[in-house]
Amino acid sequence: MGAGRAAPGILALALLALWRRAEAGCAEEARCCAGRDPSCASSGWRVDRAYGTCFCDEACKLTGDCCYDYAQACPALPCIVGEWSHWSGCAAQCKPNFRMRTRIIQQEPKNGGEPCPPLEEKAGCLEYTTYEGQDCGDAHVPAFITTSEYSKERKKRAANPRWSSETENSRSYCVEFKTETLSPRCSMENRPYARWMQYIREGFTVCVTCQPPAMHTSSHRCFGDGGDADGNKVLHWQAVGNPSCHGTWKKVQQLEECSCPLVHSFIFT
C-alpha cells in the first residue's frame, strides 16, 4: 500500500526532472561563450522551435540554433570607446605628413554586440619650420590644402613659433579658384577625416583661406595662392593627407572673406 502511494510522487519527480532538462537552456547551465564554441551547448528548445541540442555561443545567432533563452541569459553588449585624444603634432616638418588621434576601448563587445569602431584616425598636416626653428616654407611650390575644419585645431603660436603679435593679427584672406583637373583618387577617399576630398569637383569654384601660420612672414601671403597670376594661368594644388589627390585650378579672384559653401571651403596648410 505504501509503495503504491509512493509511485505517483516518484513519477512526479521524474517528470519534473525531465521538464527541467527540457528547459535547461543557457541560464540553467550558466553558459555564455565568445565566438564559435561547439562545446558551449545545452539541451532544450531552440529559437527555431526545434527541440534538442542548443548552443550558447555567439555564433549561434548566425547558425540559428541558440537556446530559447540565449537573448535573456547572454544579452548583447556593444563595444564602448572613450573620447578622442587631442590631435598629435605633425609627424614630420617641412613636408606634407599626418597628425593622429586615438581612443581606447572601455568595454569589449560581448555576445554579438556592436563591434568596436576605429581606434585611430589620421589627418593631413604641414608645418613650416624645422625642429630647430628654421623656416622651410620656400620648398613648397604647389598649393597644399586641407579641410577648413583644420583651422579649429590649429594653434597659431604653438604650431609655428615664428609669429610675432604683428603677424598674428594680420588679416587673413580668401582666394577663389575654379578647378580644372583632379586625380581620380580624390573621389575614392573614404577615411573619416579625409572625406572632404570627395567634394573637390572639376569645374567647381572653391574657396581657400590663407591664415597664419601658412602665411609667409615677410610677404604675408600663402604659397600657392597664385599671387598676381591672371585667370588664364594654370596652378597646381595637392590635398594634404593623400598625395594621390591632386590637380590644377585657375585663380578667379582674391577676397577678404570666403563665401563658398562649407564643403567647398578649404585652407592653405
170-193 pLDDT per residue, tens = 578 999 999 988 998 898 888 887
Query: In this predicted structure, what is the pLDDT of residue 192?
Result: 82
| 220 located within any domain | yes
- Tell me the pLDDT band of 7, cut-offs 50, 70 and 90: low
Q: Is the pLDDT reported for residue 55 higher than 50?
A: yes
| 212 located within any domain | yes
Q: Using CA atoms, how far apart are residues 95 and 164, in angstroms rounded to an integer?
A: 23
Q: Is the pLDDT reported for residue 164 higher than 70?
A: no
Query: What number is the average pLDDT over the span 113-126?
Result: 85
Note down the domain range covering 207: 135-162+170-268
Query: In this predicted structure, what is the pLDDT of residue 83?
Result: 94
Give start and end residues of each alpha helix (H) in 60-124: 60-63, 70-73
51-55 and 41-45 strand pairing: antiparallel
Query: What number is the average pLDDT over the span 67-89?
Result: 91
> What is the number of domains present in the chain?
1
Report yes or no: 124 and 194 within 8 Å, Cβ to Cβ.
Answer: yes
Residue with cell 527540457: 22
Query: In this predicted structure, what is the pLDDT of residue 15?
Result: 41
- Tell me the pLDDT band of 20, cut-offs 50, 70 and 90: very low
Q: 116 CB contacts (<8 Å, ≥6 apart)?
A: 79, 81, 105, 108, 109
Report yes or no: 254 and 231 within 8 Å, Cβ to Cβ.
Answer: no
Q: Using CA atoms, how far apart are residues 65 and 59, in angstroms rounded to an integer?
A: 9
Q: Using CA atoms, how far apart are residues 61 and 88, in angstroms rounded to an integer?
A: 41
User: Regarding predicted confidence, which is higher, 176 or 122?
Assistant: 176
Query: What number is the average pLDDT over the span 98-106?
Result: 91
| 208 located within any domain | yes
Q: Is the pLDDT reported for residue 117 higher than 90?
A: yes
Q: Is the pLDDT reported for residue 95 higher than 80?
A: no
Query: In this predicted structure, what is the pLDDT of residue 204?
Result: 92
Q: Is the pLDDT reported for residue 19 higher than 70?
A: no
Q: Is the pLDDT reported for residue 207 higher than 90?
A: yes
List the beta bridge partners of residue 238: 144, 246
Highest mean pLDDT among 28-37, 92-101, 199-208: 199-208
Query: In this predicted structure, what is the pLDDT of residue 154?
Result: 59
Report yes or no: 43 and 21 within 8 Å, Cβ to Cβ.
Answer: yes
Query: In this predicted structure, what is the pLDDT of residue 222?
Result: 87
Query: In this predicted structure, what is the pLDDT of residue 124?
Result: 73
Q: Using CA atoms, how far apart are residues 260 and 80, in angstroms rounded to an integer?
A: 37
Query: What number is the average pLDDT over the span 91-100?
Result: 76
Q: Is the pLDDT reported for residue 79 higher than 90?
A: yes
| 67 located within any domain | no
Query: What number is the average pLDDT over the span 2-27?
Result: 54
pLDDT tens per residue across span 214-251: 887 777 888 888 877 777 788 889 998 888 898 889 99
Query: In this predicted structure, what is the pLDDT of residue 12?
Result: 45
| 117 located within any domain | no
